Chains A and B, each alone.
Chain A
Amino acid sequence: MNGNTERAETKVALGPPPLIVGLGSHHGDDRAGWMVIEQLEAIGHPAEFLLRIAHSVDLLDRASPGQPLIVCDACQGSGTAGRITRWLWPSDQIVTLRHCGTHDLSLGEVLQLGRTLNCLPERIEIWGIEGINWSSASEPSQAVKQSVVELAQRLSGVERHA
């Protein structure tokens, strides 16, 4: 397990269970967000609260102001491969992140758009897993695979806290 992961508490206020969204693609460590969702499915997390998407903008299809939202994605630049980082949005750090999405609606931009249109909850949790391998159609790195399991375990407790 990566030794420098952030140890943040994953608790949400009482209310509907959060929608957990995995953002990713088929390519290497970019698959991390999807793998978290798959891992959550495997350990029995209710499917109606899980969503896999390839484009950030698609989270607006399902998110709503009244339901907590958790987004899991691969990231780059947060540290060593496999490092898990948690952000809370709104956060300047997310908003100013340079575009990292294929269709130039980055996660930060989509969250801003959702806020402008009043279709997202006030606070959003974002979990990033640092990747190292971005090659097309390749397997995720071992470090990311391990961190996916760890993050899914953390998030699987979210519903119980709710």
Chain B
Amino acid sequence: MAAVNSETITVPILTRVEGEGGVTIRTRQGAIEEVQLNIFEPPRLFEALLRGRPLEDVPDITARICGICPVAYQMSSVHALESALGFHVTPEIRRLRRLLYCGEWIESHGLHVHLLHAPDFFGVASGIELARQFPKEVQRGLQLKKFGNRLLEALGGRAIHPVNVTVGGFHRLPRREELARLIPDFEWGLQAAIDATRWFAGFTFPDFQQQYDFVALSHPDEYAMNEGDIVSSTGMMISVDQYDHHFKEHHVAHSTALHSVRRETNLPYFLGPLARVNLNRDQLSPSAKRLADELKFPADCHNPFQNIVARGLELVHAYEESLSILKDYHPSGTARVEYQPAKGSGFAATEAPRGLLFHHYTIDDDGKIVSARIIPPTSQNQGQIERDVTDYLTQRLPAASGREQLATDAERLVRTYDPCISCSTHFLKVRWEEVS
């Protein structure tokens, strides 16, 4: 996919990432001068679309922002709106929301690690070629992903853009038997996820370590998914409503998505599974924690290529936590906490498969949306991806066999972040960029 001339390497379309993006690498006198992650997805103006709508519409509309992680958008939106309205859901609803989120992590991580990321470690171009070499492993990966979808169907009403989520809880609580019948699949899945992660950990990882400012939610009692404070590896610990005091967005010409930096440093930061595992390792489920120790996964891992192992550990965690909730589930309470519309402002951040997803809403007395702001993880990671590619290619330049190889290296590094370049539209037009 790389187009190369004397000064510019262009990867016009990044393959095996979510959405439409590319990378441009500029060199000068043999050195990497600039790397740009180009995002061509047209801004979809969902925030404007929400203005004036009843708050009840928000979870279903925001779910349509992304075909891969609709639950993340639903969860961030309902938590922010409930914060604006000033109420909390019941412990039972809270557990079911975690279960739903586990389903999305399983589906998203299961697909990415097996079919999108693993091929890079074997020098093959696609999951199809990988399946020829490792049919059992890929088949296992598809099964793991499938059970995530089954969970989303059982709890969310359907796998694509779940419709059962509402502000205050769910439209309907699942019956015990609807969830209990998933238990055998999830027992299989827990062991399969452990085996898969052992497989990933045996891959050969490029020798690339960076200094990162890892950022993720953290919660005192659980592996943070739906709520928590925002913490960083450089010592920040803030409540979610302080987000704007510590992070800022800015526009760059080569991307239709805003970039983000930490206000204190004016530098980018790193979100996603590797950040979460580094910051919250002690709260992984027992099997995931044991596995991390068995695999000697570094306590403070700074190699982005190891994201695949971090995703594997989270896959194990999500299966184990799901299993625990499925086994203990005996519906007893209300499906939805009632509330009265009231003027207010609310913030929330949850951990989408790719990292922290921030929402902020203000609502009026009638429960209509006055303003909405959504900051997805991939836009926050853009700056860090560009820095990583710059440094990685600078390191690789002396040994690289050619610029085609460098372009491939860049593409592989970008894929470690599993970027979700905002989408849902099925068509991906190839843009061939002629650079002179």
Contact = CB atoms under 8 A, between A and B. Distances in A.
Interface string A56-99: 01101100000000000110100000000000000000000011
Contacts, number: 111
Interface in A96-145: 98-105, 109, 112-113, 116-117, 119, 134, 136-137
Contacts of B18: 102-103
A61 B149 CA distance: 9
B359 interface: no
A159 B18 CA distance: 36
Contact of A117 (B116, B126, B135): B135
Contacts of B427: 30, 76, 100, 134
A27 interface: yes
A27 B425 contact: yes
Nearest to A30: B426
Nearest to A118: B135
B111 interface: yes
A136 B48 CA distance: 13
Interface stretch (B154-162, B225-233, B245-253, B314-322): B154-162
Contacts of A103: 16-18, 67-68, 111, 116
Contacts of A147: none
Q: How large is the interface on B (under 10, 10 to 19, 20 to 34, 35 or more residues)?
A: 35 or more
Among B44, B145, B427: residue with most chain A CB under 10 A: B427
A136 B67 contact: no
B139 A101 contact: no
Contacts of B127: 105, 109, 113
Among A100, A134, A136: residue with most chain B CB under 10 A: A136
B195 to A, nearest CB: 18
A55 interface: yes
A27 B427 CA distance: 10
A54 B161 contact: yes
Contact of A26 (B13, B42, B132, B424): B424
Q: How large is the interface on A (under 10, 10 to 19, 20 to 34, 35 or more residues)?
A: 35 or more
A102 B16 contact: no
A53 interface: yes
Interface string B153-191: 000001111000000000000000000000000000000
Nearest to B138: A117
B160 A100 contact: no
B430 interface: yes
A129 to B, nearest CB: 12
A55 B126 contact: no
A137 B49 contact: yes
A27 B68 CA distance: 15
Nearest to A27: B425
B103 to A, nearest CB: 13
B124 interface: no
Contacts of B138: 113, 117
Nearest to A98: B430
A24 interface: yes
Contacts of B161: 26, 54
B142 interface: yes
B126 A109 contact: yes
Nearest to B423: A102
B342 interface: no
Interface string A27-64: 11010000000000000000000001111011011000
Contacts of A137: 44, 46, 49, 61, 64
Contacts of B374: none
Among A28, A104, A117, A134: residue with most chain B CB under 10 A: A104
A54 B128 contact: no
B408 interface: no
A60 B127 CA distance: 14
B16 A27 contact: no
Given A117-B135, A117-B138, A117-B142, A101 B160 contact: no
Contacts of A23: 426
Interface of B: 13, 15-19, 42, 44-46, 49, 61, 64, 67-68, 111, 115-116, 126-128, 131-132, 135, 138-139, 142, 145-146, 149, 158-161, 423-428, 430
28 contacts: A25-B426, A26-B161, A27-B425, A30-B425, A30-B427, A52-B158, A54-B161, A55-B68, A55-B160, A57-B142, A57-B145, A58-B160, A61-B145, A61-B146, A99-B13, A99-B15, A101-B428, A102-B19, A103-B18, A104-B15, A104-B17, A105-B116, A109-B128, A116-B135, A117-B131, A119-B139, A136-B42, A136-B44
Sorted nearest first, the 9 A-B pairs with minimum C-beta distance are: A54-B160, A136-B44, A102-B423, A61-B146, A116-B131, A54-B67, A104-B16, A25-B424, A30-B426
